[in-house]
Amino acid sequence: MPEALRARIAAVSAHLPSRYRTMDDIRARIAGTGGYAPPPGLLEDLTGVRGVHVHEDGENASDLAVAAARTALDEAGMSIGDIDLLLFASTAQDLIEPATSHLVAVKLGASCPVFDIKNACNSVLNAMEVAASFIQTGRYRTVLIACGEPATLATRWHTPDRQTLLRALPGYTASDAGAALVLTAGPAGPDDPGILALRFASNSEAWENCTVAGGGSMHHLSVHDDHTTLRLNGDLRQGALDALPRILDAAGEELRAVGASTFVAFHQIAMPQYREMIELLSLPEDRCMPAVAEHGNCAAASLPLQLVKAREADRIERGDLVTMIGLASGFSFGLALVRW
């Protein structure tokens, strides 16, 4: 009988561009367009975020992903030739066609199979699901997940009135980042490291609540700000509440096990949402990290970023149980239980 395999995280990395834009910088740029000028301090009060990272001019999603991927490969002690499959997982993309994973592969010198995985801010978590499935069946042994998020491209600058500003609010915490994980096969013994569980749920009736509507067939050639920037069209908290029965049905046992986790990473868009999710999902606050306050909403790169920051702070050690919780527009929920 073949040996049971478990996908384990051999490396995780995050890349943050050096440019940083404070909320005061954002307020000044909005005011400079001649539309509604938010009062000083309003954006900080509404979001609890100090600022966001901004990619360099000419830097694309693939470049952010490549920067993180190179760090992850070094950490894993691997070269690109050791990778059997490359997945690009992000809310963003360099082009509609071809898949951005091809651009990442060329820049890394990869010759393995590649494809993209896209599910808003849950893209990396869904890529972990795909990679783990391939590894457990023995189809691929080592998978590189690369993520590049130039999320500030979806920020709206001209707001004719306060209501438009509030609808555009998610775009003011959008932050640029790259992230990468190397997953590889290992034994699946009771104490061995790796991904122990993956659970997902959706409430697709809430798809309109938060959108970037342009670029697809619905608004193919539109350049209107309502379509090319992040727009809040509904109540995100209500979307999560409506999904809660499905979440508990899919992942109730795993959520109850969160109390045994040393660290809990969950997707964060602003500090009010950070506190709401801790309450809604009964998360142990002392084992969470409000990364959004300093780094903004890094979209699908947010979970790897929190893991990196927790490791740097010595909050994760070998053998620890770690929970990753994804929350994405759509509405999608995901959870991974990982033994480090």
DSSP H or E stretch at residue 336: strand 332-339
- 210 with 293, same domain: the answer is yes
Tell me the average pLDDT across 222-250: 89
Non-local CB neighbours of 273 within 8 Å, separated by 6+ positions:
236, 237
Torsion over CA: 114, 118, 124, 130 (sign): negative
User: What DSSP string runs through 190-249?
Assistant: TT--EEEEEEEEE-GGGTTSEE--TTSSTTTT---HHHHS-EE-S-HHHHHHHHHHHHHH
Q: What is the pTM of this model?
A: 0.97
Give the number of other Cβ atoms within 10 Å of residue 312's Cβ. 10
- For residue 102, the Cα-to-chain-centroid distance in whole angstroms is 20
pLDDT band, very low/low/confident/very high, at 240 (cuts 50, 70, 90) = confident
pLDDT at residue 2 greater than cutoff 80? no
Give pLDDT tens digits for 52-69: 999 999 999 999 999 999
pLDDT tens digits, 177-215? 999 999 999 999 999 999 999 999 999 999 999 999 998
206: CATH: 3.40.47.10
Q: How far apart are CA 162 and CA 270, in angstroms?
A: 19
Q: Are residues 167 and 297 in the same domain?
A: no
Bridge partners (DSSP) of residue 179 are 14, 147
pLDDT of residue 1: 52
Write out the residue range of the structural domain in which residue 152 sits: 5-187
Q: What is the pLDDT of residue 4?
A: 87
pLDDT of residue 266: 98
Residues in Cβ contact with 154 at an 8 Å cutoff, skipping those fewer than 6 apart: 171, 174, 212, 228, 229, 230
Q: Given the DSSP bridges, would you call strands 85-89 and 321-328 parallel, antiparallel or unpaired? A: unpaired
133 and 10 both lie in a single domain: yes
pLDDT at 236: 86
Residues 161, 230, single domain; the answer is: no
Contact 283, 304 (CB under 8 A): no
Rounded CA-CA distance 84/76 in Å is 14
Given 153, 172, 187, the domain boundary residue is: 187
- Please tell me the chain's helix, strand, coil percentages from 3-state DSSP, rounded to the nearest 5: 40, 25, 35
Dihedral of CA atoms 15, 18, 22, 26 in degrees, nearest 10, equals -90
Nearest alpha-carbon partner for 9 in 124, 159, 120? 124
Domain boundary among 172, 187, 202: 187
Cβ–Cβ under 8 Å, residues 174 and 299: yes
Residue 257's pLDDT band, with cuts at 50, 70 and 90, is confident
Name which of 31-40, 98-107, 240-249, 295-304 the model is least confident about: 240-249
pLDDT in tens, 262-310: 999 999 999 999 999 999 999 999 999 999 999 999 999 999 999 999 9
Q: Considering the chain, what is the average pLDDT of its residues? A: 96
What would the mean pLDDT of 111-115 be, rounded to a whole number?
98
pLDDT digits (tens, 9 = 90+) for 145-187: 999 999 999 999 999 999 999 999 999 999 999 999 999 999 9
Q: Which of 166, 187, 208 is the last residue of a domain?
A: 187
pLDDT digits (tens, 9 = 90+) for 88-99: 999 999 999 999
Which stretches does DSSP call E strand in 40-187?
51-54, 85-89, 114-117, 142-149, 177-187
**Helices 100-108 and 61-76 meet at what angle, rounded to 10?**
50
pLDDT of residue 3: 77
* Number of domains the chain contains: 2
At residue 237, does pLDDT exceed 90? no
The mean per-residue pLDDT over the stretch 254-260 comes to 89
